Amino acid sequence: MILLFAGACLGHLVLMILSHNWWYGLALPRKAGTIIHLIHALLIVAFPVALIEAYPFLTPPLGEGSEAGGDWSQLATFYILLCAAIGFLALPIDTLLRLRRRDPSLNRQSRILDVAKHLGRLPIGDDKERFLAYLPGNEIFEIELVERTLALPRLPDAWDGLTILHLSDLHFKGTPNRDYFRFVMDRCADWQPDLVALTGDIADSTRHMRWIVPVLGRLRWRIAAFAILGNHDHWLDVSYIRRRLRRTGMNVLVNNWQKIEVRGEPMVVVGHEGPWLHSEPDLRDCPREPFRLCLSHTPDNTRWARSHGVDLMLSGHVHGGQIRFPLFGSVLVPSRHGRRYDCGVFNESPTLLHVSRGVSGDHPIRYLCRPEVTLLTLRRA
């Protein structure tokens, strides 16, 4: 019975996390997120307490029937067995399948820079949660500069070797401070990418929207730069954020598409800010033949991308979970798909999806999940 109790508690925890992630992937008001956190936390804590309290009433359905509270007991027994099956079977199988997933990148290399060591001080800043930066082992200042090579079947020959700098989830809010972001943007500029793609969640407060121009203005690119907004931006003044982004020279896509010429070949660049901006991009007049690059803040729009012939989709939003566990990986991932698209590259034919862990986060805490910026090099498959 102790083993059953442990499995039921583990399975219940998994179900609550799945529910939390699904609800948090919807376009809800900011305060609703806090309510979702509290409700699921209460349900997680309440389940083992209720199980212990009700234990005498749960034993009859597991053995012999009982008239007193029979319906409730049977329902409770079914839920306990379901949770135990999830805890002992579904969770280990899902974890094993995730560990066996192959990275479709042709090549991946990275280097880690401890920004605090390079600056000679902790760039903690003044956010109300800055105390989290002092936690032992916190990786918020250890930026990972990742270089990936991706093979794409519809890539024009002229674009073989084309580079895209993918940035996401800056979350300007005070911690890390502006020196941290300046350092990271300078390292990105050193790459001299052909294209820059910024996939949302730029600012978390009205005061820190003023960081956009002095920080992102340090970026450099050869051809063009594009940006969309994320859910945190939509909780602020979106018009002001878009104006500031345009001042840096970026093309702000909103929920629309642009056709540009890259090395003599046409490219369609699509912005998708759903579900927070409710109308999906209208591609009825968009030419179908050119290569399609889509910037979507959340990876939840993968199905839309596949159905609209997107070749490469770049996303962020989920931060890789921010706290990951050895072997098991991510836990809290704000997505309707749970942790399926938490970070990395995913082959969802005909779409190749890259999900960034982001440069920062709403809460300054990261374990086994360093912040990242990524340079993507495109090759013809």
Nearest CA-CA partner of 338 in 42, 20, 102: 20
Q: Which two tokens stand for residue 149?
A: 């090579």
- The answer to whether residues 57 and 192 belong to one domain is no
The mean pLDDT of the chain is: 93
Q: Which of 54, 79, 100 is the C-terminal boundary of a domain?
A: 100
The two beta strands, 257-262 and 372-380, are unpaired
Q: Which two tokens stand for residue 196?
A: 């820059």
The two beta strands, 344-348 and 291-296, are unpaired
The CATH number that applies at residue 297 is 3.60.21.10
Q: Is the pLDDT of residue 64 over 50?
A: no
- The answer to whether residues 61 and 26 belong to one domain is yes
- What is the pTM (predicted TM-score) of this model? 0.93
pLDDT band at 51; cut points 50, 70, 90: confident
- The answer to whether residues 132 and 91 belong to one domain is no
H-run or E-run covering 261 = strand 257-262
Cβ atoms of residues 220 and 189 within 8 Å = yes
- The answer to whether residues 242 and 273 belong to one domain is yes
- The answer to whether residues 118 and 66 belong to one domain is no
What is the C-alpha end-to-end distance of the chain, expressed in Å? 55
- The answer to whether residues 178 and 54 belong to one domain is no
Q: Please tell me the predicted confidence (pLDDT) of residue 68.
A: 46
- The answer to whether residues 162 and 177 belong to one domain is yes
**Per DSSP, what are the bridge partners of residue 296?**
272
From CA 202, how far away is CA 233, in angstroms rounded? 6
Angle between helix 70-85 and 2-24 (nearest 10): 80
Q: Is the pLDDT of residue 198 over 70?
A: yes
Q: Is the pLDDT of residue 375 over 90?
A: yes
From CA 271, how far away is CA 255, in angstroms rounded? 5
27-32: average pLDDT:
88
- The answer to whether residues 10 and 126 belong to one domain is no
- The answer to whether residues 328 and 181 belong to one domain is yes
**Per DSSP, what are the bridge partners of residue 145?**
111, 373
Q: Which of 84, 100, 116 is the C-terminal boundary of a domain?
A: 100
From CA 84, how far away is CA 49, in angstroms rounded? 16
From CA 315, how far away is CA 274, in angstroms rounded? 12
Q: Within 13 A of 325's CA, how many CA atoms are on the CB side?
A: 6
For the four alpha carbons of 323, 106, 95 and 82, in that order, the dihedral sign comes to positive
pLDDT, tens only, 217-272: 999 999 999 999 999 999 999 999 999 999 999 999 999 999 999 999 999 999 99
Strand order in the sheet with 351-355: 257-262, 265-272, 291-296, 312-315, 351-355, 344-348
Q: Which domain holds residue 315?
A: 107-380
- The answer to whether residues 312 and 371 belong to one domain is yes
Cβ atoms of residues 345 and 331 within 8 Å = no
Q: Please tell me the predicted confidence (pLDDT) of residue 261.
A: 97
- The answer to whether residues 227 and 376 belong to one domain is yes
Q: Is the pLDDT of residue 72 over 70?
A: no
Q: Within 13 A of 86's CA, how many CA atoms are on the CB side?
A: 17
For the four alpha carbons of 163, 148, 364 and 302, in that order, the dihedral sign comes to positive
Q: Which two tokens stand for residue 29?
A: 């008001």
Q: How many domains does the chain have?
A: 2
Q: Which of 58, 76, 100 is the C-terminal boundary of a domain?
A: 100
- The answer to whether residues 30 and 72 belong to one domain is yes
User: What are phi and psi for residue 201, nearest 5 degrees?
Assistant: 55, 70
Q: Is the pLDDT of residue 364 over 90?
A: yes
